[in-house]
């Protein structure tokens, strides 16, 4: 659980580093983001390994991810590093999914996380540091890889939202008695 809170705590540090808008600080921001992203994996691994999975941990883990990714996406808009439409779609999808999950919970339905949503998150965790660094490393065009990878995450996001909605409708129809 402390690792999850650490991920939330690294978010403002990453944003402050990005605010300097220098190549060195962008690199530090990307490293900070990568540490926060890696902590997500280790948090889940350690919780399972030591059988300390908690309801609070299951609840806070995806929220910590959303706080981290959403804040960085928004921070990258003002200097034109990413397209605002990309951010609008991604944040709208997350809001929609939270609504669908709440609605499902009110009907005692659980909609499991889908692989597409996990791929979306993984794509964002890999591509955002590339956009933050923003410069080629050798002949590797990091910015372009990150930018177009984020558009891939938008596509995965829309697919994932469709899967969640379908899962809710299917679960709701299965739970509704036929008369």
When pLDDT is cut at 50, 70 and 90, the band that residue 140 belongs to is very high
- What's residue 1's pLDDT? 66
Domain residue ranges of the chain, discontinuous segments joined by +: 1-75, 82-179
Which tens digits make up the pLDDT trace of 16-58?
999 999 999 999 999 999 999 998 777 777 777 777 777 666 6
Residue 159 CA to residue 152 CA, distance in Å, equals 11
User: Which percentage of the chain shows pLDDT scores above 70?
Assistant: 94
Instruction: Return the higher-pLDDT residue of 7 and 3.
Output: 7
Indicate whether 176 pLDDT > 80: no
């Amino acid at each position: 659980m402390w690792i999850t809170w650490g991920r939330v705590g690294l978010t403002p540090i990453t944003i402050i580093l990005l605010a300097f808008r220098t190549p060195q600080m962008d690199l530090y921001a990307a490293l900070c983001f990568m540490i926060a992203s890696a902590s997500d994996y280790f948090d889940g691994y350690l919780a399972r390994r030591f059988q300390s999975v908690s309801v609070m941990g299951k609840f806070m883990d995806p929220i910590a991810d959303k706080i981290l990714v959403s804040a960085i996406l928004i921070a990258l808009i003002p200097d034109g590093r990413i397209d605002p439409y990309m951010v609008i779609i991604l944040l709208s999808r997350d809001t929609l999914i939270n609504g669908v999950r709440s609605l499902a919970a009110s009907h005692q339905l659980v909609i499991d996380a889908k692989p597409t949503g996990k791929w979306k998150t993984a794509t964002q965790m890999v591509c955002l540091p590339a956009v933050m660094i923003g410069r080629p490393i050798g002949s590797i065009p990091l910015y372009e890889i990150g930018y177009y990878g984020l558009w891939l995450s938008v596509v995965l996001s829309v697919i994932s939202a469709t899967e969640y909605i379908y899962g809710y409708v299917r679960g709701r129809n299965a739970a509704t008695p036929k008369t």
